[in-house]
Amino acid sequence: MLAGCGTLKPVKDTSVNHLLDPLIPERPITGGSPAIAISRPSLPSYLDRQQLVSRSGGGDGQLQMNSYHLWAEPLDAAISRVTAVNLGRLMNSLNIQPVETFVTLDYQSLLEIRVSRFEPDSANVLVLECTWKLQPVAGRVANTRPFRTRVAIAPADSPQDLSDRAAAMNEALARLAREIARAL
């Protein structure tokens, strides 16, 4: 029994953890208005997982889940965090934050995002389809607005190479933030 213990070798973890990052250029932020809370977006259940998801090439509804490329944080939390930073930089406001960051209800509006698609298709194009609305805390119900963008991704050298995917997702979220900022 002791001889068998000496033959065990540690298993090397070959997984890659990905993180979304804001793309709007960093600058000193001095303003306190507008005060907007960013709720965690609703995601389709197939995206609400640790693995990165892609659509297969046949238009047959098949998904590919990569067990070695994982999100470093829940995707909904990453989207709200990156959207808050992007919007804060665009609007020069320190008070645009994920809703969990607010200690009290001292925000004027709540940004709600409903993602219906946020993954690359078989043509190496990342697609972000969602709706969003900026709901005032006090006031009538805001209108929901559609958003769709496509970001080209360089073809992967191998099925395991997903290096450009997070960059394309970051670009799609920056485009969404610019659209929301124009509406403010």
> pLDDT tens, 41-68?
999 998 888 888 877 665 667 777 777 8
Residue 33's SS3 state is coil
- Is a pLDDT exceeding 80 seen at residue 126? yes
Written as six digits, the tokens of 170 are 């970051």
What is the domain-level CATH number for residue 73?
3.40.50.10610
For residue 18, being part of any structural domain is answered with: no
Confidence band of 15 (pLDDT split at 50, 70, 90): confident
Domain count, the chain: 1
What are 136-153's pLDDT values in tens digits?
988 888 899 999 999 998
Confidence band of 4 (pLDDT split at 50, 70, 90): low
Written as six digits, the tokens of 165 are 């995917």
Mean pLDDT of all residues in 19-28: 93
For residue 127, being part of any structural domain is answered with: yes
Find the range with the poorest average confidence among 92-96, 163-167, 178-182. 163-167
- Is a pLDDT exceeding 60 seen at residue 1? no
For residue 87, being part of any structural domain is answered with: yes
Nearest by Cα to 61 from 76, 75, 44, 74: 44
Q: How far apart are CA 113 and CA 79, in angstroms?
A: 9
Helices 75-91 and 165-183, axial angle in degrees (round to 10): 50
Q: Which domain holds residue 132?
A: 30-183
Written as six digits, the tokens of 164 are 């450009």
Confidence band of 133 (pLDDT split at 50, 70, 90): very high
Confidence band of 123 (pLDDT split at 50, 70, 90): confident
Q: Please, what's the largest Cα pairwise distance for the chain?
A: 73
For residue 100, being part of any structural domain is answered with: yes
For residue 5, being part of any structural domain is answered with: no
- Is a pLDDT exceeding 90 seen at residue 80? yes
Residue 170's SS3 state is helix
For residue 13, being part of any structural domain is answered with: no
Mean of the per-residue pLDDT values for the chain?
86
The reported pLDDT for the residue numbered 57 is 63
For residue 20, being part of any structural domain is answered with: no
For residue 6, being part of any structural domain is answered with: no
Q: How far apart are CA 37 and CA 105, in angstroms?
A: 9
